[in-house]
């Protein structure tokens, strides 16, 4: 990809993981984006909030408890959210926020799918069958169409975990791009020896929860750290409605304000994907599972460009 095609560009990808994040974090983020006159991409789970079921990760995922402690899980999510799916029936995230989704679209932002059950996808998708994967995605698409009246064009994998059955589904069902990986550049994915023609736009920057308590605890200091990581090409930042839409709003606002002052522009990921389609040939990169600093467990990563 030519460095000039996305000079000084930032795509903000907002992952909504919980009912609380949808109801409280999203309105705060919409207000901020409106003040700075930027458009971003929101990704929303189409099913219930079962956040409480993440408790099992303490026992099966190395580093999870340490990360949870750094982030301040109880302060971030609240006790009620942490009981959803274990002691309390989790509320529908998208269906109980139709008015907010309509507001997101009205203000010019993109809305894509962030799985159905965020926790289940994150913890199980690596090993799910083709049938189970397609059933989840068909349910997600059905709810999305019911709410928006349109077919979805984009998907962002919960926890950056993906399998080849999902990539095949996206390719066959009209998705323009997906954002399921961590890496450096947009590409066409290769997974388990299968090549796919669906554009993959990876998250290129770390997430706030990965660096809190490691690079600092002050929102302005952390924002300055993120500014040092920006390339003069395409940068994709994933923020979470539960963090940057709540306790860490000052971090995101400082990052947006100062990056704009440095000449960076913001684009929705769907607009980035449309430009990539017109640009021409993208490299093929293999997706595999690896780790990133500050995050417990695996994520989907990409290899250097392959030669065919």
Distance (Å) of CA 268 to CA 6, 38, 117, 177, 275: 12, 9, 24, 12, 11
Residue 249 tokens, joined: 């709003």
State residue 215 phi and psi, 5-degree precision: -95, -5
For 77-91, b/e burial (b = at least 16 CB within 10 A) is bbeebbebbeeeebb
**What pLDDT does 4 receive?**
47
Q: What is the pLDDT of residue 79?
A: 85
pLDDT score, position 213 = 93
Low-confidence ranges of the chain (pLDDT < 70): 1-4, 55-68, 70
Contact residues for 102 (Cβ-Cβ < 8 A; gap 6+):
none
Q: Which domains does the chain have, with CATH numbers?
A: 9-302 (3.20.20.370)
Give the model's pLDDT for residue 2.
Answer: 45
Q: What is the pTM of this model?
A: 0.94
- pLDDT score at 60: 55
pLDDT at 278: 85
pLDDT at 82: 86
């Amino acid at each position: 990809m030519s460095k000039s095609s996305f000079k000084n560009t930032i795509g903000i990808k907002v992952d909504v993981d919980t009912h609380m994040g949808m109801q409280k974090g999203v309105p705060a983020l919409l207000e901020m984006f409106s003040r700075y006159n930027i458009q971003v991409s929101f990704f929303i789970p189409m099913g219930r909030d079962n956040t409480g079921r993440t408790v099992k990760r303490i026992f099966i995922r190395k580093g999870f408890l340490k990360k949870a402690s750094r982030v301040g899980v109880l302060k971030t999510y609240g006790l009620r959210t942490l009981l959803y799916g274990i002691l309390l029936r989790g509320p529908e995230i998208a269906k109980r926020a139709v008015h907010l989704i309509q507001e997101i679209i009205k203000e010019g932002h993109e809305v894509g799918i962030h799985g159905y059950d965020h926790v289940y996808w994150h913890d199980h998708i690596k090993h799910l069958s083709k049938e189970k994967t397609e059933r989840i995605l068909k349910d997600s698409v059905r709810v999305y169409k019911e709410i928006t009246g349109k077919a979805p064009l984009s998907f962002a994998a919960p926890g950056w975990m993906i399998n080849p059955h999902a990539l095949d589904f996206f390719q066959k069902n009209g998705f323009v791009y997906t954002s399921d990986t961590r890496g450096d550049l947009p590409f066409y994915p290769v997974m388990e020896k299968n090549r796919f023609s669906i554009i993959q736009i990876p998250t290129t920057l770390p997430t706030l929860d990965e660096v809190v308590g490691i690079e600092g605890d002050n929102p302005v200091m952390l924002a300055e750290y993120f500014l040092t990581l920006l390339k003069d090409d395409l940068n994709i930042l994933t923020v979470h409605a539960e963090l940057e839409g709540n306790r860490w709003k000052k971090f995101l606002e400082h990052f947006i304000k100062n990056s704009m002052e440095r000449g960076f522009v913001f684009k929705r990921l769907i607009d980035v994907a449309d430009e990539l389609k017109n640009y021409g040939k993208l490299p093929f990169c293999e997706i595999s599972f690896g780790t990133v600093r500050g995050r417990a467990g695996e994520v989907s990563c990409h290899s250097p460009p392959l030669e065919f």
